[in-house]
Structure 1
Amino acid sequence: MTYTVTIHRTHTLLKLTYKKGELCKIEIKSGCLNSQQYQQLGAILPPREEDIERYQEQWNGSVSYREDVPEPLSLYGKFLDEWFAFYKHLYGFPPKFTGADGKALKQIISYLQQVSANDTEALATWQYLLSNWQKMDAFHQKNTDLKYINSQLNKILQNAKRGNSSATTAYSDNFKREILQGLFTR
Structure 2
Amino acid sequence: MVPGAAHAANPSDPENTIYLDLKDGRVVIKLRPDLAPEHVERIKKLTREGFYNGVKFHRVIEGFMAQTGDPTGTGMGGSKYPDVKAEFTKEPFERGTLGMARSQSPNSANSQFFICFEDSSFLNGQYTVFGEVVDGMEFVDKIKKGASGSGTVTNPDVIVKMQVASDAK
Q: Give me the TM-score of the superposition, normalised by structure 2.
A: 0.26
Does 1 or 2 have the higher relative contact order (CA < 8 Å, sep 6+)? 2
* Structure (1/2) with the larger strand percentage: 2
Q: Give me the TM-score of the superposition, normalised by structure 1.
A: 0.25
Instruction: Report the structure number with the largest CA radius of gyration.
Output: 1
* Structure (1/2) with the larger helix percentage: 1
